[in-house]
Chains A and B, each alone.
Chain A
Amino acid sequence: MNPHQKSHEQTSSLPPSATPSAPPSATPAATPSAPTPARPNHRFLWISLSVLGASLTVLGTAMAAQQQGTDVALATVALSKSIGTWCAALLTIGILTFLYRDNPFYKVCESILIGVSAAYWMVNGFWSTLVPNLFGKLMPGVVRDVAIPSLPVSATPGFDMALAFVPLLLGLMLLWRLSPKGGWISVWPLAFIIGTTAGIRLVASIEADLLAQASATIRPLVVFKETVLVGGIGAGSTTTSDPSVAMAASVQALDFWGTVGAVTGVVGVLSVLTYFFFSLEHKGAVGKSARLGVWFLMITFGSAFGLTVMGRITLLAQRLEFLFKDWMGIS
């Protein structure tokens, strides 16, 4: 894990990055490094700022009114919701305009996103983890008075407090990274983070990814049809746990596709592992097996590709649904 990231920046699919590139035939789009015309740019900026300010004012009034009377409250809730929907719709469209070309509207949306997300993560980390798990141990009394009244009372408060000084210190050292000097100071918490990650990943990888995967690969390479059972168990039953029944069935019918599937599964794993075997050149039998492994890999990727495309389309469908239904009211 990289500690200097918001945790979900490591997700397999991140927000797309803007490509300001346009095909050669199209008008060259502005890029961050390219000089952008200053004036329209700034006029746009002030407009968006004032829109932002205005909506916040309305929002604030709405909030204040909400705490007064019921009728007014209902009206303001509805108002804040409809302002919200408009905001969301405009921002959605703002991002989508980038498809045509890079423009200030998009850039404003992007800038807001960057700022809001950093703050969101920080606020969440603060209230959900730092306050209860760190400050709750360092100064439980204060935390109980100010933020979490029902914070459980520890049996060994002194010991807990002493222990909590370690992450406090490491945390401060981590923040030292912001200073231009003394880079080595942040290496201590970094080492702790890397060591912890290495420790838990090492064991988990062996258990869940090596042994369990090997175990899951293991299966009989010959499969018999389970329904054609001779004697004893009725046709409805599908169990072959009784060895003598399995024996009797084995005389009866071979499950062709079941067998092919079982063999494919095992051969697939082994041939791809051969491809990942680096000590031997891909020649002769090893070469053939590795080649088969590549084909397995390509089919794997093809399937993953199809599923990924499906995911991307769903996300866009959801945004369009929002625009059509919640904003335009087409339903």
Chain B
Amino acid sequence: MLQRTVPMAILSLSGLILMLAYFSPMTTSWGETVLDWFNILAAVAFVLGAGNLLAVNLEKISSRRAGWAYAAITLIAFFLMLGFGLLKVGAVPNAEHPTVAFAGGYETAASPFGWTYEYIFSPLTATMFAMLAFYVASAAFRAFRAKNIESILLLGTAFIILLAQTAAGMFLTGWIPEESAFAFLRLDWMKVAITEHIQTAGMRAITIGIALGVVATSLRLILGIDKSYLSKS
């Protein structure tokens, strides 16, 4: 009962209220309350994430597994940042209410939290993403093969887009007059044709398909037919 029926009831009810709230103006406020709760839970999930991180890393350190020292660094970084932020260390006092302890802004580069964000967190994430440029180059060489007509189409389109997105497009085909009968050979023309007609059409169909999948799954969940979230937890 507590383990299955109640969760299923919670699920159906919250889903139905939100659907109802969209169509019936008088229930709009219910939907708003449900969404408010949802957003609070989303913030709690961050705490959960941090808790998981702690658990995994503490276990690594206590069992002295290989690389436990890195787990220690992770924890130190975590607690420093957490302390800076939660205690609002070095925060700029609130202009109107300078006496209220936690009313200040803690995110400017003048406070340790803001400083760490600006000079440690931000460059680290940005560089992590930037590494993908290298991997995509390596994948271009090692993995992207013209195996059949489909992959030739894919790679051929990619070539056109890659060229047309840069000055190479104008350089190679810019001399073809825009008004001539051969204007369709211009790379910028091809790019617009591909993105606006073919890619849009392809993505529309994919979007429609995925939307139907989402509808079916959501419906199965709300009706209590799909219970995968129960049995696997």
Q: A: which residues have CB within 8 A of B?
A: 1, 3-7, 13, 15-16, 19, 32-33, 35-36, 41-42, 45, 48-49, 52, 56, 59-60, 63, 66, 77, 80-81, 83-85, 87-89, 91-92, 95-96, 98-99, 107-130, 133-134, 145-150, 163, 166-167, 170-171, 174-175, 177-178, 183-184, 186-203, 205-206, 209-210, 213-214, 216-217, 257, 261, 264-273, 275-276, 293-310, 312-313, 315-316, 318-319, 322
Q: How many residue pairs bridge A and B at CB < 8 Å?
A: 456
Partner of B211, one of A33, A209, A271, A322: A209
Q: How far is it, in angstroms, between the C-alpha of A205 and the C-alpha of B208 when the chains are bound?
A: 8
Tell me if B151 is interfacial: C-beta within 8 Å of chain A: yes
Given known A33-B66, A95-B131, A116-B81, contact A170–B41 (CB-CB < 8 A): yes
Check B202–A206 contact: CB distance below 8 A.
no
Sorting the interface of chain B by its residue count into under 10, 10 to 19, 20 to 34 or 35 or more gives 35 or more
A190-B221 Cα distance, complex, nearest whole Å: 12
| Interface CB pairs A-B, < 8 A, 15 | A16-B128, A111-B71, A115-B81, A119-B50, A119-B78, A121-B49, A167-B44, A187-B229, A198-B11, A200-B35, A216-B204, A264-B201, A272-B202, A299-B157, A312-B129
User: Least Cβ distance of A105 to chain B in Å?
Assistant: 11
B196 touches A96 (CB 8 A): no
6 closest Cβ pairs, A-B complex: A302-B157, A268-B201, A306-B161, A123-B85, A300-B202, A115-B77
Contact A194 B229 (CB under 8 A): yes
Question: Complex formed: what's the CA distance from A269 to B198 in Å?
Answer: 9
Q: Are B201 and A195 in contact (CB under 8 A)?
A: no
B19 A199 Cβ-Cβ under 8 A: yes
State A81–B86 Cα separation when bound (angstroms): 23
Question: Are A114 and B53 in contact, CB atoms less than 8 angstroms apart?
Answer: yes
Q: Interface 1/0s, chain B 101-129, versus A by CB < 8 A?
A: 11100100111110111111111111111
Per-position 1/0 for B186-217, Cβ under 8 A of A: 00000001111111111111111111101101
1/0 contact string of B1-17 vs chain A (CB within 8 Å)? 01100111011111111
> In the assembled complex, how far is the CB of residue B135 from the closest CB belonging to chain A, in whole angstroms?
6
Known: A116-B116, A149-B97. A192 touches B218 (CB 8 A): no
Q: A125-B43, A264-B197, A268-B197 are in contact. Are A118 and B49 (CB under 8 A)?
A: yes
Contact check, A205 vs B221: say whether CB atoms are below 8 A apart: no
In the complex, whether B156 has a CB less than 8 A from a CB of chain A is: yes
Chain B at the A interface: SS class:
helix
- What residues of chain B lie closer than 8 Å to A177, measured between beta carbons? 48
Interchain CB contact under 8 A, B135 and A202: no
Asked if A272 contacts B157 (CB within 8 A), the reply is no
Q: Nearest chain-B residue to A184 (Cβ)?
A: B3
- Whether A293 and B205, one on each chain, are in contact in the complex, defined by CB atoms closer than 8 angstroms, is yes
Q: Which residues of B contact A88 (CB under 8 A)?
A: 118-120, 122-123
Q: Which of B18, B44, B205 is A273 in contact with, Cβ under 8 Å?
A: B205
Please judge, given known A-B contacts A122-B82, A194-B11, A306-B162, whether A13 and B129 are in contact too, CB under 8 Å. Answer: yes
**Nearest CB in chain B to that of A277: its residue:** B209
Chain A's closest residue to B192 (CB) is: A261
B233 close to A186 (CB less than 8 A): yes
Task: Please determine whether B184 and A257 come into contact, CB atoms closer than 8 angstroms.
Answer: yes
CA distance A195 to B33 in the complex (A): 14
* B interface residues (Cβ-Cβ under 8 A, vs A): 2-3, 6-8, 10-19, 22, 33-53, 55, 66-67, 69-82, 84-86, 90, 94, 96-97, 100-103, 106, 109-113, 115-136, 150-151, 153-162, 165, 184, 193-212, 214-215, 217-219, 221-222, 229-230, 233
Complex contact B113–A113 (CB within 8 A): no
* A112, B90: Cα distance in complex, Å: 21
Looking at the assembled complex, report how far the CB atom of B183 sits from the nearest CB atom of chain A, in whole angstroms.
Answer: 9
Contact B221 A91 (CB under 8 A): no
Checking A107, A189, A307 against B41 with a beta-carbon cut-off of 8 angstroms, the contacting residue is A189
Q: What is the CB-to-nearest-CB distance from B119 to chain A, in angstroms, rounded to a whole number?
A: 3
Name the distance in Å between B75's Cβ and chain A's nearest Cβ.
6
CA distance A304 to B197 in the complex (A): 13
Smallest Cβ distance from A237 to chain B, in angstroms? 20
> What residues of chain B lie closer than 8 Å to A174, measured between beta carbons?
41, 44-45, 48
Partner of B127, one of A3, A52, A96: A96
A180 vs chain B, min Cβ distance (A): 10
Please pick, from A85, A149, A186, A298, the residue contacting B96 in the complex, using a CB distance under 8 A: A149
A195: contacting residue among B12, B97, B113, CB under 8 A: B12
